[in-house]
């Protein structure tokens, strides 16, 4: 969703994935100008590296986030919203004090209604809805456990919506 929104807003977006061959065309279809492998961010690096990004949305944390911070240019902002790679953050103050980088946490769980309404409004204008349809798979309640196993096995992409009103009995 971040790829689609940022591309719609006019940014040049680089998408990072561990499945470049499988998902490259899909991510370019969402608006990514470049698609790179997440291996590039997997190993611990220097606290300040060549500046590559004006900003970033990170859903994995840990060493990949530390590398993104080290590659963020002056006054850039990085949003941290997930921990798929780990809860640690092996970084230093260097990107913050030498480049003025901002690390912004995102918590979608306990936001007040007023904030949610603002965000939903922004989503209605900034997220291309045809792409949202394309990245969404809808399942019934009975399929939740098997879908969760697929998600954990890295076999699902995009988002899964659960239709809670239809439950097969038996």
Within the chain, residue ranges assigned H as helices are 2-8, 20-30, 62-70, 94-98, 113-126, 129-134, 144-152
Instruction: Between 24 and 128, name the residue whose CB sits nearer to ligand NAP.
Output: 24
CA 78 distance to own-chain centroid? 11
SS3 130: helix
In angstroms, give the least distance from the CB of 143 to ligand NAP.
17
User: What is the radius of gyration, based on Cα positions, of the chain?
Assistant: 18
- Closer residue to ligand NAP in complex, CB, 87/125: 87
CB neighbour burial string for 146-166, b if at least 16 within 10 angstroms, e if fewer: ebeeeeeeeeeeeebeeeeee
Q: Which is nearer to ligand NAP, 32 or 99 (CB)?
A: 32
19 part of the interface to ligand NAP, by CB under 6 A: yes
Which residues from 118-137 bind ligand NAP, rule CB under 6 A? none
Query: Tell me, what DSSP letter sits at residue 67?
Result: H
Which of 54, 144, 151, 161 touches ligand NAP by CB under 6 A? 151
Q: Which of 48, 85, 89, 162 forms a contact with ligand NAP (CB under 6 A)?
A: 85
Residues 6+ apart with CB under 8 A from 3: 13, 15, 27, 30, 31, 32
Q: Which of 8, 28, 38, 52 binds ligand NAP (CB under 6 A)?
A: 38
The minimum distance between CB 141 and ligand NAP, in angstroms, equals: 18
Which residues sit at the interface with ligand NAP, rule CB under 6 A?
17-19, 23, 38, 59-60, 64, 81-85, 106-109, 151, 154
């Amino acid at each position: 969703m971040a790829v689609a929104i940022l591309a719609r807003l006019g940014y040049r977006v680089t998408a990072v994935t561990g499945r470049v061959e499988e998902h490259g065309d899909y991510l370019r279809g969402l608006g990514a100008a470049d698609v790179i492998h997440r291996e590039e961010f997997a190993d611990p690096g220097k606290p300040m590296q060549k500046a590559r990004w004006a900003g970033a949305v990170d859903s994995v944390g840990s060493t990949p986030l530390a590398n993104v911070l080290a590659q963020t240019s002056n006054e850039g902002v990085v949003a941290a919203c997930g921990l798929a790679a780990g809860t640690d953050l092996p970084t230093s103050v260097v990107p913050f004090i030498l480049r003025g980088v901002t690390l912004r946490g995102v918590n979608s769980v306990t936001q007040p209604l007023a904030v949610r309404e603002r965000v939903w409004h922004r989503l209605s204008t900034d997220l291309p809805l045809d792409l949202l349809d394309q990245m969404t798979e809808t399942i019934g309640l009975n399929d939740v456990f098997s879908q969760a196993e697929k998600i954990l096995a890295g076999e699902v992409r995009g988002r899964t919506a659960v239709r809670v009103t239809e439950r097969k009995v038996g």
